[in-house]
Amino acid sequence: PSTPDGTVISIIDGLKDNQADIIWKALPLSYQEDLNGVVHNFANKMDEELYNKSFMLINKSVDVLRDKKEFFLNSSLMKKSEIEENKIIATILWGYGIDALETLTKSDISDLSSLKTINIGDFLSATGSDLMVKVNRLNFLLQEKTKNKDYTDFSNVKLVSLEGDNA
């Protein structure tokens, strides 16, 4: 877009369409290179065994959360919840939350050798967009159950003033 407000509207429209890479694409190339460099530098300095085993542990935790859903939902912590609606919300959202978490734990960031060469834009385009779909599904269900405001509603965004490149 050729205008500041056009850029903001383009980003909002992209986010509404679950395009996680839209913000990445809006960044100058030098910023993209810097961010990729920071991630690659981290990956090159990180202990590979520790990093990979940490993700293995997280993956096993996700498996336990999925397999033992009833145990957790019937735990004393949930029984202490005096609001029945909290139990219903937790039950409905459990699987979607686990699914969203697993998207990250099974992605390219879960292996340090992949992280050493990852392109953040590509990661956001694929995994980021998939994660956005899942998080938006969670948001929709939570909003439906709690009657809370939709955090993805940008309908109030409007241009207030424009002077040169400043909006």
Round to whole Å and give the CA distance between 20 and 130: 9
Tokens of 152: 């993805």
Mind spelling out the 3-state secondary structure of 116-140? CCCCHHHHHHHHHHHHHHHHHHHHH
Each residue's pLDDT tens digit, 14-34? 988 999 999 999 999 999 999
Each residue's pLDDT tens digit, 85-131? 667 777 777 888 898 899 999 999 999 999 999 999 999 999 999 99
Q: What is the pLDDT of residue 145?
A: 63
Which three-class secondary structure state does DSSP give residue 97?
A: helix
Over residues 135-142, the mean pLDDT reads 77
Q: What is the pLDDT of residue 43?
A: 98
Round to whole Å and give the CA distance between 60 and 63: 5
Find the angle CA(156)-CA(130)-CA(133) to the nearest 5 degrees. Answer: 40
Distance of CA 88 to the CA centre of its chain: 24
Question: Please, what is the average pLDDT of the chain?
Answer: 85
Q: What is the pLDDT of residue 146?
A: 62
Q: What is the pLDDT of residue 150?
A: 61
Provide φ and ψ at 73, rounded to 5°.
-70, -20
Maximal CA-CA distance, the chain: 60
Find the angle CA(74)-CA(75)-CA(79) to the nearest 5 degrees. Answer: 80
Q: What is the pLDDT of residue 138?
A: 78
